[in-house]
Structure 1
């Protein structure tokens, strides 16, 4: 791995702007790659991993020397198909036409209903997606969820008449789809008819969906219905038949993520709207399948998303093939990456940091002054039960061993077979025992997560490197980086969402009413601290970002305490590395998009606002009320 350059800190600026003091020199030099929307922090690590793995896989293709890693040989075959641009250009749009024609040939709702299972298993889009996941109130068993489809625009709020981005984005989308239809060999009149129908259907869905802020309160997505009651949502489709065909049985109950959407089901999907629904499916399928075809179709299909993100150009063919192939074999690639690039010493060191952070959290809970003894004890029980995964899973998910490439068939034909295998496996889990060993992220992804249903924190190998973590960094710098990330994920067990799950991962209120009310007041204070803060892209929505801010606050505070317990600790290095990991340069378009849909606060604020709640920050840098980083003690928030 390439060592990242560490830029000097402008010590004179720290009192007024920690983020700029640490990242200002880097920001002047940083250049966003033309095919990306951001650079710095997480993105730079991801870019480096991309370069390393592309080089490794190219060498395997050239030499034929493939390490004995489970599933890797099949991945290389699939990657080879993705890289065969001559064959893809020769075939053109031909491979995708039968998939599109199948939608065009649908006669009516009854015909659609009868084909729904096979359409679903082939990966076709649907306006009423069903999903199998652990039951939030009984996480030992998989249950069935009725979800909602994504919209064309990023969020429900974009459909409001006064949204300034709506018209321009929809115009870009229409032009992109019209070009795709042309490249696929369809007439302009046919294309315009399908686009108009798709947009009408999409617009009909938006009023009945939640916006991003409402979805951030994800506990409210748990709405259990008897299956008999659920089937009453549609007057024109036999939902009982649809579901029983999908999972092989008729369930007694189903979880509905957004009841208001399903209450409008008959209005949305009926014989009169079916033509528009077909157009909506056709347009979405055309966009999705274009990445398996020619260079021109792939690049065209990304125009809208590049407009959303602000990326200046499409990825080149080689890079696009890499992402297409690795997304299909993500856990295979992750294990290969972890075994080659992640050492046993680092895994042991990070695991010890996790245990230390849990111990700090436990001590804090034991000494907490605002929780009652009953709630405090339950919080400690939950913490003691918290699972820890570091680096990579012990073994590959056996699903990936079923992906066997037929090199005589096209890239798309192989993908279709894999999709069928994966979806059959997915729906077969219904009403079976939950597998808690499955990782939700591959080891080469630069990220980390807390799973409330499993009460487990997971740190893939990719994030366990500089600037987050390095054996070459001081312990204080490591605690300011990966230590704060670790404690952040622990804190998610006690944020406004995670705190509603017990030690088994079940949605279960273990709080006294008084404690819960106090906690909700603290959460509201965190909302207020961020609400309306001005950024280059606009004001912050405090409610949207509250759960991540609670986790940031708890994580930074606990990591600070852990850092101070080490010999020769250096709090300047701690706070500076905290700011360094959030260093990022992004397109304005991406910043605006994230302000509307992302549950994380902008990076500049994550770096600057949270430290202002900590007394040690003020003493470390001698900050007083005349400095820009000063926050009145009465306004400083302490939750965990």
Structure 2
């Protein structure tokens, strides 16, 4: 049954009614929060032809006039909502701080006191490095390779890092089981390329990193810190060489390599794996997955030949660097000078209250405790039901799109329909919350409180080993402005935080809501059918459910899409990696296609009204462009290109449209226009 325009409008109205009432600066009833119909037309650069650069056409004036705040590395539509969610959470915390009746041991008391311990700068400055001294003392006492492995096993508690780590994952071939995985890591720079690339930009970063290591070691009283810092950098450079490139790490076929634990020691000799398991607090293991097999033995050899004093300096540096935001201003600022300014281009730290909110109420803090309060105030049961209705509209649209594609045969389509029908949407907030009763939070001791939560997080992971997976679990907090697809559970998850303008607005034109939140829903659905998500079936089991011919046809299209993104270069000699970003690019292309189909279905065969001289299709695409509005510092853009599977915002706005026929028609795009792609070269997938 096709969704009617009326049913969608009612769904939008119900869903946004409560959240808009609490939104900062919300518009009066009946008026969209942005512009006259839901898009801020004042952000446009009308001098730019839509077919030459649609992102600038929609956002060009904003790009030219918005000045990044000193603490911002980037800013855009997502950041706007994150700022709003942050302010909402901050207001809740301030209310808790004023309360005189919070019960000892309650979650509200824990939120209040954890936040207060972060904000007590005077106590932190007075303590200096002392709160971290027990960690530094343990590191200084490492006198054998056995003790070194013990230290590697404690990195999650001490806030350090290690070249080999075990973690608890979902088993991609048996979604009812957890599976311990072995990962190679231990780098202090964002990616292996930062160590190995000889471009002047990376050479400069390495020079600054060396000075940063020296400075942080100096806080621990290390003598001859410059030479010892060079040894740490040399060690990390060696660790970087065998590690896989990020595009390789996306390949699920290559990163699933399960063996028995007994086989692990035979395959990778020279390391005490049982000691690593014990050091991480895990029980004896039956099976283990080695994500990057070729990288493990070289790292074991590096561990074996590197002198213990270098490892002690390595761990000392990472302990100081990673914990610096929890310590004195002097240490905090020293770490920020590299991590914030050199790597991301920040000119100033974020305000303490902003950082406190992120620490206390994020997924590694007391996120669910805040989530309970947040959804009571900023998300209603009606909103949850309405969002679920929208998800079903997009599900119908994707079904319609699959029916029409000509490169997939009936057998594969049948499996695709089955997977689509099995999608489980999670909207707003979880049905059950994390239990923080074992966590003790005290006033005035930030490090102690953080260590409590680190122990809680470790115990939470370890308890899963040998148990059945929890399909009701969420991996984001309700106040998070984001969404995700989990292929192993075949679920799409939309936290409450994203259900706000410009993505979703009660009073906006339906075309705008479809081009915004509709495209986000479609994007997450699209991940179930991207180059990696498509390797899992309706039950979340990683297996090939395609015919060989259909998979070949799919890969022909994804290869062409990757080549398009490879050509996008936002900085000199720095281009998008079409393979690394492939899943997100497929999600964007599929998302806009699904959302457009859903919008057309909602019209019920009737023409959309013209508003402010713009057709329904034009308003749909303007909304799409608006949600990807973004501005970056060069340092942050470089980091994103090298480490992030998402393309920069300008390419998320423009890239899919170049392949989408309705956009060409809506804006009369011609062959002479810069974004024009000949019809036979346009990539059509979902």
TM-score, structure 1 normalization:
0.94
Residue 58 of structure 2 corresponds to 22
Corresponding position: 1:140 with 2:186: no
Write out per-residue CA displacement over residues 203-227 of structure 1, whole angstroms, 9 at most, x where no aligned residue: 1111110112222334422111232
Structure-2 residue corresponding to 1:426:
461
Does the aligned pair in 2 maintain the 1:613–1:631 contact within 8 Å?
A: yes
CA contact 2:114–2:446 (8 Å) conserved in 1: yes
Aligned to 1:50: 86
Structural mapping, 1:496-535, within 5 Å: 496-535=531-570
Could you list the per-position Cα deviations for residues 270-296 of structure 1 after superposition, in whole angstroms to 9, with x for gaps in the alignment? 164433222222211111122221112
Aligned partner (choices 327, 331, 338) of residue 293 of structure 1? 327
Match of 1:259 in 2: 293
Cα distance in 2, alignment partners of residues 35 and 520 from structure 1: 41
Partner of 1:317: 352
Please state how far the C-alpha of 1:529 moved relative to its aligned partner: 2.0
Task: Report the equivalent of 1:546.
Answer: 582
Once residues 101 and 191 of structure 2 are traced to their aligned partners in structure 1, the CA distance between those partners, rounded to angstroms, is 46
Pick closer, same or farther for the CA change 1:372–1:205 going to 2, 3 Å. Answer: same
C-alpha distance in structure 1 between counterparts of 2:541 and 2:185, whole Å? 26
Do structure 1's residue 612 and structure 2's residue 620 form an aligned pair? no
Go from structure 1 to structure 2 and tell me whether the alpha carbon gap of 1:203 and 1:119 turns closer, same or farther (over 3 Å shift). Answer: closer
Distance of 1:475 and 1:80 partners within structure 2: 44
Q: CA deviation at 1:58?
A: 2.1
Does structure 1 retain, via aligned residues, the 8 Å contact 2:195–2:206? no
More displaced, 360-369 or 295-304? 360-369
Q: Report the equivalent of 1:582.
A: 628
- Mapped partners of 2:467, 2:135: distance in 1: 32
Change (3 A) 1:75 1:359: same
Match of 2:378 in 1: 341
Separation in 2, partners of 1:87, 1:247:
32
2:429 alignment counterpart: 392
Structure 1 residue 397: deviation in Å?
1.6
Q: Distance in 1 between matches of 2:497 and 2:566?
A: 33
Confirm or deny: 8 A CA contact 2:154 2:279 kept in the other structure: no
Alignment of 1:455-534 (within 5 A): 455-534=490-569
Whether 1:332 aligns to 2:332 is no
Q: Is the 1:480–1:560 contact (alpha carbons within 8 Å) kept by the matching residues of 2?
A: yes
Q: 1:238 aligns with which of 267, 272, 296?
A: 272
C-alpha distance in 1, partners of 2:677/2:160? Answer: 52
Shift of 1:425: 2.3
Deviation, 1:235, is: 4.5
Tell me how far apart the structure 1 counterparts of residues 354 and 96 of structure 2 sit (CA, whole Å). Answer: 16
Q: What's the C-alpha RMSD, in Å, of the aligned pairs?
A: 2.3
Question: Cα distance, 1:110 vs. partner?
Answer: 2.2
**1:614, CA displacement in angstroms?**
1.9
SS of residue matched to 2:417: helix
Q: 1:332 to 1:194 in 2, by over 3 A?
A: farther
> By how many angstroms is 1:620 displaced?
1.5
- The separation in 1 between residues aligned to 2:429 and 2:153, in whole angstroms, is 34
- Is it true that 1:35 corresponds to 2:81 in the alignment? no
1:94–1:515: structure 2 CA closer, same or farther, 3 Å change rule? Answer: same
Task: Find the partner of 2:256 among 208, 216, 222.
Answer: 222
Relative distance call for 1:581 and 1:369 in structure 2 (3 A) is: same
Query: CA shift at 1:299, angstroms?
Result: 1.8
Aligned to 1:448: 483
Cross-structure match for 1:638: 684
Question: Who is 1:250 aligned against?
Answer: 284
Match of 1:201 in 2: 235
Aligned partners of 2:162 and 2:186 also within 8 Å: no
Indicate if the aligned counterparts of 1:169 and 1:304 stay in contact, CA closer than 8 A: no
Cα gap change, 1:615 to 1:296, in 2 (>3 Å): same
Task: Tell whether the 8 Å contact from 1:194 to 1:280 is kept in structure 2 after alignment.
Answer: no
Query: Which stretch has the larger CA shift, 497-506 or 593-602?
Result: 593-602
Partners in 2 of 1:66 and 1:36 — Cα distance?
A: 35
1:282–1:115 distance in 2 versus 1, CA, 3 Å: closer
1:375 paired with 2:412, answer: yes
Contact 1:342–1:391, Cα closer than 8 Å, also in 2: yes
How many positions carry a matched residue from both structures? 636
Q: 1:232 to 1:181 in 2, by over 3 A?
A: same
1:282 aligns with 2:351: no
* Distance in structure 2 (CA, Å) of the matches to 1:167 and 1:233: 36
Moved more, 111-120 or 64-73: 64-73
Instruction: Check whether the contact 1:153–1:166 (CA below 8 A) recurs between aligned residues.
Output: no
Aligned to 1:411: 446
1:157 and 1:163 in contact (8 A); partners too: no
**Separation (CA, whole Å) in 2 of partners of 1:563 and 1:366:** 17
For residue 558 of structure 1, the aligned residue among 588, 594, 597 is 594
In 2 relative to 1, CA 233–35 (structure 1 residues): closer, same or farther, beyond 3 Å?
Answer: farther
In structure 2, relative to structure 1, the CA distance for the partners of 1:247 and 1:179 (3 Å cut) is closer
Contact 2:440 2:452 in 1 (8 A): no
Structure 2: segments with no counterpart, 5+ residues: 1-22, 27-32, 35-39, 609-615
**1:275–1:317: structure 2 CA closer, same or farther, 3 Å change rule?**
same
CA drift at 1:248: 4.7
Distance 1:610 1:165 in 2: 30
Given that 1:335 and 1:442 are in contact with CA atoms closer than 8 Å, whether structure 2 keeps it comes out as no
**Unaligned segments of structure 1, at least 5 residues:** none
